[in-house]
Structure 1
Amino acid sequence: MSQAELTAVPVSRAPRRALWSFGILRSELATTFRRWRTLSLLGVLAAVPVLIGIAVRIETGDGARGGPGGGGGPAFLSQVTNNGLFLVFAALSATLPVFLPMAVGVIAGDSVAGEASGGTLRYLLVAPAGRTRLLLAKYASVLVFCLVATLVVAASALAAGALLFPVGDVTTISGTRIGFGEGLVRAGLIAVAVAVSLTGFAALGLFVSTLTDSGIAAMAATVGVLITVQILDAMPQLDAVHPYLFPHYWLSFTDLLRDPVYGDEVARNLGLQALYAAVFGSAAWARFTTKDITV
């Protein structure tokens, strides 16, 4: 064979693997949502709005009507008896500080460490997916859980509110009235805003999950971080650091029920969550891609 013919022979190269594959995501989603732990968490989240609605119904069984200034409890709770749609806002206000982030912390903390403790992580890495793609798929599945969990709370609250109380036009925080259809749209936007509010904490939980091979330890540590940060956020002596704590702007979704919508704190919340997701997502990637998988 001549020199020219030798140079004309194409050189085969190994195919480049795409950074993303929906097959990996589908597998992660199937694994996550088939677990009894996940279904139990969603069941508990669905029960919370129903219990709130029943409690309000029993409390106002004598015909008393809630008002803007009546009673304590979560935001919007005093309006539930006037309009069942407010049970959606009240339920999200009640579950966001504790129930929703704890559920996300359990799923995120178990995402990598649970596979390691179960002995399946090593087999996942044998497949040609690569560590980066696997970690991206796991984070994406946690984000999907954030959205599903929030929508479960909202849908359960909407159904319970419609069954237990009258529904109709919505009185905004600004005092103006909007139609029921627009109120439903606002409720949907608020549910999405609540789900996005959990993305930074989800990245933090994913990072914690890469630090240990024990799923229980990772879940406990993630929930412990949540409780500690919320205690810090409640201390007035630490006002200077409050704007940098991931749960500080969680309840800013209430501004979406103003007319017109006030978006400054919502934007601050989105920016803060993006910062936490970038920082702890990068830390999780750096740890996971260099981690020695022994089990």
Structure 2
Amino acid sequence: MSRADLDPAQEGTGGTAQESAGRTARTTQESTEQRIPLARRGSLLLNELRTTLRRWRTLALLGVLAAVPVLVGIAVRIETGDGGSAGGGTGEGPAFISQITNNGLFLVFTALAATLPFFLPMAVGVIAGDAIAGEAGAGTLRYLLVAPAGRTRLLLTKYATTMAFCLLATLVVAVSALTVGALLFPLGELTTISGTRISFTEGLGRALLIALVVAASLTGVAALGLFVSTLTNSGIAAMATTVGLLITVQILDQIPQLDAIHPYLFSHHWLSFADLMREPVYWDDLVKNLGLQALYAAVFGSAAWARFTTKDITT
């Protein structure tokens, strides 16, 4: 006689127990498979950074930014080769350009002043505008959202990547300018805007601080570009719109009749970093600039989050 014949109820109980155990095992396996991507979410930012920095478009933008200080340095060297002064002695040209021949470190400040109104924000606008729209246009956005990172985390990762590019782009300009300045002009003590003398080491420290302030000045453009990127599935359209808005704001900031709105434009206090070369440092415009950038980042960052988290992803 079989075991099932002795106790039919026991057979049912055993079958139910086996099925329950099987379901538990499958549930455990599925939970483990879901936790594996969660453990890897910390690498999402690193992967995004690698992807962005490996693109030819990004490398081309960094190359153009690195070339600007080279061109400025060579132009000043040629112009002052016969004993003349940079800017023709008329004070024309970017800030600090007349001081480059006295100290090559001033080429860092001049290059940042020359690239900040257009080249740097344009590069940031391209990266930010392509952040979401580029993924949608390439058909990879849905695959990114399959991961348990979620839309908010992905959006924050995109913004962090854009901010990392802001810092990298600014440092590329500064390092290129410092290298060219050291090769073409003398280095040594610096004379501040206030007329006081500071050591070359302190000048390097201020140059680094100025680079950080310039990078922070681009946070508003980065947030604006990210918001525009959530409005369309075309990366080219998002990049063009962001750059167009940047140019529009720059034009508005130059119209005297619109001086009432100038303090609220994200570009209005960009060149306030020059106050870091005063002794003592004049902080008022610097604080206004950083506060305005934080406001733009909060407003357009929130708008980007509201749009992206409710957007119907079809591509």
User: What TM-score range do you get, normalising by the shorter chain?
Assistant: over 0.9
What is the distance in 1 between the residues matched to 2:88 and 2:70?
A: 22
Cα 1:22/1:68, change in 2 over 3 Å:
farther
Offset of 1:127 from its aligned partner? 1.0
- Counterpart in the other structure of 1:97: 117
SS at match of 1:37: helix
Aligned with residue 47 of structure 1, among 62, 67, 79? 67
Cα offset, 1:288, TM superposition: 0.4
1:167-246 pair list within 5 angstroms: 167-246=187-266
Aligned-residue offset at 1:24: 1.2
| Structure 1 residue corresponding to 2:180, chosen from 153, 156, 160 | 160
Assess if the C-alpha contact under 8 Å between 1:74 and 1:90 holds in 2.
yes
User: Do the aligned residues in 1 keep the contact of 2:87 with 2:97 (CA within 8 Å)?
Assistant: no
Paired with 2:169 and 2:188, the residues of 1 have a C-alpha distance of 26
Max Rg structure:
2
| Deviations 1:262-287 (CA, angstroms, capped at 9, x unpaired) | 11100000100000000000000000
**Amino acid aligned to 2:179:** A
Between the aligned partners of 1:207 and 1:173, the Cα distance in structure 2 is: 38
CA contact (8 A) 1:65 1:82 kept: no
Deviating above 2 A after TM superposition, structure 1's stretches of 4 or more consecutive aligned residues are 14-18, 63-71
Contact 2:76 2:86 in 1 (8 A): no
CA distance in 2, matches of 1:71, 1:210: 43
Q: Which runs of 5+ in 1 are unaligned?
A: 1-11
Describe how 1:117-156 pairs up with structure 2 within 5 A: 117-156=137-176
| More helix as a share of residues | 2
Q: TM-score, normalised by structure 1?
A: 0.92
Instruction: Evaluate the alpha carbon distance shift between residue 247 and residue 67 of structure 1 in structure 2; reply closer, same or farther with a 3 A threshold.
Output: closer
TM-score, structure 2 length as denominator? 0.86
For residues 69 and 177 of structure 1, do their structure 2 counterparts lie closer, same or farther at Cα, with a shift above 3 Å needed? farther
After TM superposition, give the deviation of residue 63 of structure 1 in Å: 2.7
Question: Could you tell me how far apart the structure 2 residues matched to 1:144 and 1:70 are?
Answer: 38
**Change in CA separation of 1:218 and 1:66 when aligned onto 2, cut-off 3 Å:** closer
Query: What is the RMSD of the two structures over their aligned residues, measured on CA atoms?
Result: 1.9
Query: 1:33 aligns to what?
Result: 53
| Paired-residue identity, % | 76
**In the alignment, is residue 115 of structure 1 matched against residue 101 of structure 2?**
no
Which of 274, 285, 300 is residue 280 of structure 1 equivalent to?
Answer: 300
Report how far residue 67 of structure 1 moved. 9.4
Whether the aligned pair in 1 keeps the contact of 2:223 and 2:300 (CA below 8 Å) is yes
Looking at structure 2, the residues matched to 66 and 215 of structure 1 have their Cα atoms a distance apart, in angstroms, of 41
Aligned residues: 282
Q: Distance in 2 between matches of 1:272 and 1:111?
A: 23
* Counterparts of 1:70 and 1:54, CA distance in 2: 19
> Counterpart amino acid of 2:290?
L
Unaligned runs of 5+ in 2: 1-27
Q: Give, as a single letter, the amino acid of the residue that structure 1 aligns with 2:296.
A: Y
Aligned partner of 1:82 among 96, 99, 102: 102
Of 250, 264, 267, which residue of structure 2 is paired with 1:247? 267
